[in-house]
Amino acid sequence: MSEPTEFEQIDCSAVIADVYLLLDSECDDTSRARLQRHLHECGACLEAYGIEEKIKSLLSRKCGGEHAPEGLRERLMVEIRRTVVVTRTETEG
């Protein structure tokens, strides 16, 4: 049995989660190359990337000149930190 390729080792959900890092040029060269290779070989991820790219472009065109009120970022970060996600699992019995 052969070793899995780098493409096979990357989980699609991880690629989709990192799409904005790629779109915003916020990832290093190695990560960028790895993500781009995956997108080149995975049609489903490429389609999702294309949709995200269009949304980002639309938001940039429609909201590009506007700035959020002072302190909004800080308030949002506080709210995000306060948010708790609860996952339920079925117990045996």
Confidence of residue 66 (pLDDT cuts 50, 70, 90): low
CA angle 21, 52, 20 (to 5 degrees): 10
| Predicted pLDDT at 13 | 82
pLDDT digits (tens, 9 = 90+) for 40-63: 888 888 888 888 888 888 877 777
Is pTM beyond 0.85? Reply is no
Mean pLDDT, residues 57-70: 75
Q: What is the domain count for the chain?
A: 1
Confidence of residue 8 (pLDDT cuts 50, 70, 90): very low
Q: Is residue 44 part of a domain?
A: yes
| Predicted pLDDT at 90 | 67
Above 80 in pLDDT, residue 7? no
What's the number of CA atoms in the CB half-sphere (13 Å) around residue 12?
Answer: 10
Q: Is residue 89 part of a domain?
A: no
Helix runs in 1-93, H state only: 6-9, 12-17, 19-23, 29-41, 43-63, 72-82
Distance separating alpha carbons of residues 13 and 10, to the nearest angstrom: 9
Q: Is residue 39 part of a domain?
A: yes
Q: Is residue 91 part of a domain?
A: no
Q: Is residue 90 part of a domain?
A: no
Q: Is residue 92 part of a domain?
A: no
| Predicted pLDDT at 63 | 76
Domain membership of residue 39 as a residue range: 6-82
